[in-house]
Structure 1
Amino acid sequence: MLWLRNLAYWLLVVVITPPFFVVVMLSMLVPMGVNKTTTAWALTLLWLLEHVVGLKYRVIGRENIPAKPSVICCKHQSGWETLATQKIFPLQVFVAKRELFKIPFFGWGLKLTRTIGIDRGNPQRASQQIVEQGSKRKAEGLWITIFPEGTRIKPGYRGRYKAGAARMAQLLQMDLVPVALNSGEFWPRNSFLKYPGTVTVVIGTPIAYDAAPSAEALTRLCEDWIEAQQVEIQGAGPFALQPPQVPTPVISRS
């Protein structure tokens, strides 16, 4: 049954994506049209995951979502959160390394959706790109989503939190909204199969951009909150770390 559900999911994704691509091309003529149509595509996939695969979710802390555009600082365990954040939060853009823009189709799609591309090999230039592109997105009323660990981390572990999200928050004077989740326990990295169950998402109280004297200190505030929540929600899915670890082991990533 698991294989049949996943096969049906992927077949439906293949069927619906080409028509969505046509709509995306047409939506380029409308302000914010591409962002809205790609968000609709993401929400369709999220619906399929819930109703075909059986991968549901629950959100704790919706009341903590502020009214003004903010920087979403989110734990990253699978591809699920790249879809779900678009359902949970207002219209947003992601932050990604510029090298991804060179990937055919995928990279072009990132550019069309106004993704903030940064040069991670040049910190000074990256800060300039954050200010230049981030200021424009903020002025347009868009939220900004960033995964501070920089890559997907398997459940029960933590990556090295980079200060990019906090630096962006301080430079653009946007508060940080920390988000914890356990999606990787149901959607393993690079796996064809997604497993039924309920992902838990926890949204924290916004952290003011001036709550700490430096980007590093602000990052620690965000990291401490997220990782404390990870301990509370881990252990629910088939790919949870067994036995759960307290505190979570650290994976050092460059």
Structure 2
Amino acid sequence: MVVLRSVLFLLLQSVLTIVFAVFALFTFPFSAFTRYRLITGWNRSVVWLARWICGIRYQVIGLENLPDEAAIIMAKHQSAWETIALPILLPPMAIVLKRELLRIPFFGWGMAMLSPIAIDRGDGRAALKQIAEQGKQRLADGLGVLIFPEGTRVASGVVGKYGIGGAWLATHAKALVVPIAHNAGEVWPKNALLKHPGLITVSIGPAIDPSGMKPDALNQRVQAWIEAEMALLPNYAQTATK
């Protein structure tokens, strides 16, 4: 049944992607916030399909930690699930992503309409400058910035190398940083067709004020909180099922 449900989910997700990509092109005249609300209808649909077809549920803890102003979100990266779900679980934000994703037919078209920060990961210095410049502009416009400091998805239980981009932006823009841990990789593994039923826990940490901190120190503090929280996520899942 897992194979059957996973294939059905993939087919429906593909159809939704094509439909919303074409729809996204017609949202160009609207403001960034209006485009965001309309286009993330795709995200809501996919998360709904994942629940009702694959049995992937989720819970969010720590919502009270989200600041009122636009902030920088630094999140664990295990799965495609968080890239789809976080934009609808959190306030509107610009996602930092690799530029080649925008070249993917249909999916890339829709992403381009969400004011992302598309970087060339092969040129680290230029990417850092781009994150700082465009990130400041997005924050000034009232959009948060979502960055996955590990850069690429890592398997469940693995700690990737935390890039400096998010911390660099935070210290230069003097914006709060919100760390996020989750265990989506347990049910929706990276690069895997099969999606398994289960409960994903998304844990939002207390906002960190970067004032007086160097990027390296801030990055280490974010990593320490996320990885410590990762060890607690199974306990949250057990509590939710009682």
Normalised to the residue count of structure 2, the TM-score between the two structures is 0.89
Q: SS where residue 40 of structure 2 aligns? A: helix
1:233 aligns with: 233
Residues 134-149 of structure 1: matches in 2 within 5 Å?
Answer: 134-149=135-150
CA distance in 1, matches of 2:52, 2:75: 25
**Larger CA deviation: 134-143 vs 42-51:** 134-143
Residues 1-254 of structure 1: pairs in structure 2 closer than 5 A:
1-32=1-32, 33-210=34-211, 212=213, 214-234=214-234
Counterpart Cα distance in 2 of 1:81 and 1:14: 18
Figure out how many residues of one structure are paired with residues of the other and give that number. Answer: 236
| Partner AA of 1:179 in structure 2 | I
Is the 8 Å Cα contact of residues 9 and 53 (structure 1) preserved in structure 2?
Answer: yes
% identity of equivalent residues = 40
CA distance in 1, matches of 2:103, 2:26: 23
Q: Structure 1: state its 5+ residue gaps.
A: 238-254
Say if 1:13 and 1:124 are closer, same or farther in 2 by CA, change over 3 A. closer
In 1: Cα distance, 2:57 partner to 2:104 partner = 31
Is the contact between residue 175 and residue 208 of structure 1 (CA under 8 Å) also seen in structure 2? yes
Answer yes or no: is the 8 Å Cα contact 1:186–1:199 preserved in 2: yes
8 Å Cα contact 1:211-1:218 kept in structure 2: no
Moved more, 77-86 or 127-136: 127-136
| Structure 2 counterpart SS, 1:56 | strand
Cα offset, 1:7, TM superposition: 2.8
Q: Tell me the distance in 2 between the aligned counterparts of 1:215 and 1:223.
A: 12
C-alpha root-mean-square deviation of aligned residues, in Å?
A: 2.0
8 Å CA contact retained: 2:72, 2:170? yes
Structure 1 contact 92–144 (Cα < 8 Å) conserved: yes
CA-to-aligned-CA distance 1:147-176 (integer Å, 9 cap, x gap): 011111111110111111100111222111
CA contact (8 A) 1:96 1:116 kept: yes
Is contact 2:25-2:110 (8 Å) kept? no
Asked if structure 2 preserves the Cα contact closer than 8 Å seen for 1:43 and 1:86, the reply is no
